[in-house]
Chain A
Amino acid sequence: MAEHPLLHVQQLEVRRRDNREAPLVGPFSFDIGSGATGLVGESGSGKSLTARALLNLLPPNLQAHSRQMRFGDRELSTLNNREWQAVRGAEIALVMQDPRHALNPRLTVGEQIDEALRLHVRMRTTQRLDRVLQVMDEVGLPQSRQLLKHYPHQLSGGMGQRVMLAIALVNRPRLLIADEPTSALDTGLRNQVLDLMMQLADTHGMGLLLISHNLPLVARYCKQVLVMYRGQCVDRCAGNALDQATSPYTQALWNCRPSGHTFGHPLPVFDPESIEANAS
């Protein structure tokens, strides 16, 4: 990573607004370059909060703070709400976990993809329609006007996830944050969707932050992996080096992955104290 990273974050932390407790996340620093970056950890480790902090989308009782959050040549940590709105969806986009909940049940597929476009660019209706159809084609949705008029409940899980991807990509963002984008899908679809995301990130030179608790998946797809535990970044390594990680937590996580080999055997349990001693 000799070149300028896409996103450079220094000392990010997330706190409760009442500020009495220790930070829920961080402080920690990281860079996101082009290609995929993985963010792994167990539930509650702060992965999603980190992702939301990068979009300034934390719930109202939480507050993010960072010394620096440079995105390209822009400083994000000093943006006001209105400026953030221009960044969200246009330059940094989000794909969420479950299309059944994340898509508005009352709007059609077309309206929802179009909305992301409409919020950021002024175009004629017909031009927008062309762009919507184009992005649907890119994410592998049948390029049909019929699908535009479907409601989310009429879609399969895989199609729903592709619609969400289309929403994220319609403005050609420079960074895509995918928060457990595949955990609501079955295994076959999972790989399809991830392959698609990788390929699109590649063709458009888009950065990708993939949040997951599925280590083999992250190991396969990500150049760089950040491992989080209890709001701290306890390890960072290359994706293909995850299986040889030296950090005891990463090792433990790697060893706990269920697979055909572990079927019928109890999964190993790790000792939180040793990890905590190591982390601090």
Chain B
Amino acid sequence: MNLSAQLFTLIDFAPRLRRGLRSPAATIGASVLLIVIIVAAFAPWLAPSDPLRQDIALRLRPPGAGHWLGTDNLGRDILSRLIYGARPTLGIAALVMAAAAPIGLLIGIVAGYVGGWTERVLMRLTDIVLAFPQLVLALAFAGLLGAGTFNGALAVALTIWPSYARLARTETLSIRDSDYLAAARMLGIRSSRLLWGHVLPICLPFAHVRVALDMAATILSLSSLGFLGLGVQPPTPEWGAMVADGSKVIFDQWWVAAVPGAAILIICVAFNLLADGLRDLGDPRHG
């Protein structure tokens, strides 16, 4: 199987989409995500005002005409900040996944395929990282190495790869001794091609579900970092940090914290629904 053929099967979208529409969970999740992505992409056109423009005279306005979701303690328009805030929330989480998932898959596939000592060492390492308090380590990492977008994202990425390694190893083991790999090997296909062309596609359907689940978990971790001031730095709008801004006035101007937190909740529900739907659609071998 050459690369283009394999990519073609991967993005063989139409039938998958049709099946996907049959799962209401996946449909709702995907629709919400689509809306959020569009909002994030077209933020400059959609936001009613500049998310950074402060106006002390207008601080802590309740939701109403002019400022649909009210203003925060610096008089910034919350709706605009919410719209712009979708960018780091989605973007950084996506980057984290793009960094962590392939590394985890690679480690797992190599461990499962090579076996022996390599497997033992790699999987022991994976287990060790899995046994760590991931959020706490991410907090400590960001706190010690300096708060900021990059360190926060790196900290979360470092704790996420092991689940992919576990998953990829299990799947690789299940087919390592299969006849179809033996056949491919007999045709003289090199190991690296074998891993890329035959083993990886087996892991991907499971990885889809995992990515959707982890997107929710990652967004929660990143927003926790933001809430504690360790993530995206002000004045850039970020949902977790916006909740922190609102926490000081939670008893009187509840909407300042309630709105961005609800946004986090909604997007995480969407990712989890998508994951549920993808899992129900199941892996191609049974579906």
Q: Do chains A and B touch in the complex (CB under 8 A)?
A: no
A-side residues, CB < 8 A to B, are none
